[in-house]
């Protein structure tokens, strides 16, 4: 694309996007990287609350600024959502006012800037990472701790009301087709651009493995519930070896898995160890009970693993249905597992993965589309 070397873009991120080790920040980091590789001068603004300043961001961005997120409890009592109220900064506004470059806001979290009159003449786009009130409603349903459950329900109500702020954006860039369809019912200029991700090429070992793998952040209630369902309802009477890998498994899960002879827990694996587990598994299994956002771990398994067995909520508008085996209850999952454990993953299946993923999830093509929209 011509003249991209002269393009500047402010990106306001809800978190420090390094290390890129959970859904939202994976999309932010690899988007920033793809834009920089195209010659766009990215001015990155990060809300900081626990993650450290990262030199790697300075290496790929034109400038990086950090703002402390105010996580004090006073924000719980405001009318606007906590995730928004705790991410306001006068020094951020002052920094944005130093030039007239376009702005990309990451998530509803950073959308208080759409109400900033001093920025009313600027081109401002929003990357929607979820239908946030649906996401928080599902978090509430999955949560057993009473205070957290109340917080999630309360936040869901506030997020639903607050969402109307998106009408002030020039463009909404949805992360899944399902989200794009939802936003298009209420807002103009909605475009689906899939998640940016670290995978450059499909790298799958043909043939067979001898175990099934589930991976995810195990401290998240949604993932904990998925593992509990799988061990209690699916692998309870199947002799197939089942490995569960992920960050920060709660003690309740550690004790549950320790009692099962065919189940192995791999806590806090390194990136290299996780990649090896994914690539050597016969089946990578992923189920979720909330159809919100794109589950980036699904891309991880499709680029690097053999068979991908999921429920339909896991796909959630990702357009990846044809690359997965879909089963929606325990009995269907068992049936598909029995079938898949006997099959070899062929070179033909690998070619199909390459072809499909190159059409929709190619960072290079998607970044061109993004540049056209937001700059």
Q: What is the CATH number of the domain that holds 240?
A: 3.40.50.2000
Is 276 inside a domain boundary? Answer: yes
Please indicate, yes or no, whether residues 147 and 290 belong to a single structural domain of this protein: no
pLDDT score for 5: 53
3-state secondary structure of 50: coil
Task: Look at residue 368 and tell me if it is in a domain.
Answer: no
Mean pLDDT in the chain? 94
Give the pair of three-digit tokens for residue 323: 């690359």
SS3 135: helix
Residues 22 and 116 in one domain: yes
User: What pLDDT, on the 0 to 100 scale, is given for residue 1?
Assistant: 44
The answer as to whether 112 is a domain residue is yes
Q: What is the pLDDT of residue 289?
A: 86
Number of domains making up the chain: 2
* 114 and 43 co-located in one domain: yes
DSSP string over 166-202: GGGSSEEEESSHHHHHHHHTT-SSEEE-PPP-S--S-
pTM of the model: 0.89
Q: Residues 226, 294: one domain?
A: yes
**Percentage, residues of the chain above pLDDT 90:** 87
Evaluate whether residue 168 is within a structural domain. Answer: yes
Contacts of 86 (CB under 8 A, 6+ apart): 69, 70, 71, 72, 75
pLDDT for 293 equals 59
- Rounded to 5 degrees, what are φ and ψ at 219? -85, -10
What is the reported pLDDT for 294? Answer: 61
Residues 182, 45 share a domain: yes
Cα-Cα-Cα-Cα dihedral of 136, 137, 139, 141, to 10°?
170
**At a CB cut-off of 8 Å and minimum separation 6, what does 372 contact?**
1
User: Does 353 reside within a domain?
Assistant: yes
Query: Residues 171, 218: one domain?
Result: no
Give yes or no: residues 168 and 298 share one domain: no
pLDDT of 121 > 90? The answer is: yes
Q: What is the pLDDT of residue 118?
A: 98
- 253: domain range? 212-359
Q: Are residues 178 and 291 in the same domain?
A: no
DSSP state letter for 345 = B
Residues 246-258: tens digit of each pLDDT: 989 999 999 999 9
CA dist 124 → 11, 294, 371 (Å): 10, 23, 13
Instruction: Look at residue 269 and tell me if it is in a domain.
Output: yes
Question: Which is nearest to 230 in space by CA: 242, 221, 220?
Answer: 242
Rounded CA-CA distance 183/185 in Å is 5
pLDDT in tens, 261-295: 999 999 999 989 999 999 999 999 999 988 765 67
Domain stop point among 198, 229, 262: 198
Residue 134: per-residue pLDDT: 93
The torsion angles phi and psi of 145, rounded to 5 degrees, stand at -70, 125
pLDDT digits (tens, 9 = 90+) for 156-166: 999 999 999 99
Query: Which residues fall within 8 angstroms of residue 366, CB to CB, at 6 or more apart?
Result: 34, 193, 194, 196
**Residues 175 and 219 reside in one and the same domain:** no
* Res 372 pLDDT > 70: yes
Domain check: are 165 and 233 in the same one?
no
Is residue 21 domain-shared with residue 164, that is, in the same domain? yes
Question: Is residue 373 assigned to a domain?
Answer: no
Question: Is 10 a domain residue?
Answer: yes
Residues 89 and 114 in one domain: yes
CA 30 from centroid of its chain's CA atoms: 12
């Amino acid at each position: 694309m011509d003249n991209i070397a002269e393009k500047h873009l402010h990106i306001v991120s809800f978190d420090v996007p390094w290390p890129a080790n959970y859904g939202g920040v994976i999309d932010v980091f690899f988007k920033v990287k793809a834009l920089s590789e195209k010659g766009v001068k990215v001015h990155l603004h990060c809300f900081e609350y626990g993650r450290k300043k990262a030199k790697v961001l300075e290496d790929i961005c034109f400038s990086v600024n950090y703002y402390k997120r105010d996580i004090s409890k006073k924000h719980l009592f405001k009318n606007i959502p906590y995730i928004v109220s705790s991410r306001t900064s006068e020094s951020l506004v002052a920094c944005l006012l130093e030039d007239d470059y376009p702005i990309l806001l990451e998530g509803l979290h950073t959308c208080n800037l759409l109400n900033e009159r001093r920025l009313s003449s600027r081109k401002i786009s929003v990357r929607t990472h979820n239908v946030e009130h649906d996401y928080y409603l599902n978090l509430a349903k999955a949560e057993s701790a009473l205070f957290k459950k109340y917080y999630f329900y309360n936040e869901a109500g506030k997020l639903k009301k607050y969402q109307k702020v998106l009408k002030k954006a020039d463009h909404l860039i949805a992360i899944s087709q399902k989200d794009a369809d939802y936003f298009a019912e209420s807002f103009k200029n909605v475009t689906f651009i899939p998640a940016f991700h670290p995978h450059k090429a499909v790298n799958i070992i043909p043939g067979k493995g001898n175990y099934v793998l589930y991976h995810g952040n195990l401290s998240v209630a949604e993932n904990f519930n998925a593992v509990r369902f799988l061990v209690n309802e699916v692998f309870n009477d199947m002799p197939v070896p089942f490995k569960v890998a992920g960050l920060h498994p709660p003690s309740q899960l550690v004790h549950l898995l320790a009692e099962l002879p065919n189940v192995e827990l791999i806590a806090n694996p390194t990136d290299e160890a996780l990649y090896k587990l994914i690539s050597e598994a016969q089946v990578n299994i992923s189920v979720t009970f909330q159809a919100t956002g794109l589950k980036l771990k699904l891309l991880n398994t499709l680029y690097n693993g053999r068979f991908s067995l999921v429920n339909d909520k896991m796909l959630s508008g990702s357009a990846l249905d044809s690359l997965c085996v879909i089963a929606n209850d325990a009995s269907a999952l068992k049936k598909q597992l029995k079938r898949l454990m006997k099959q070899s993953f062929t070179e033909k299946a690998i070619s199909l993965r390459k072809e499909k993923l190159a059409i929709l999830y190619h960072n290079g093509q998607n970044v061109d589309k993004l540049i056209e929209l937001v700059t």
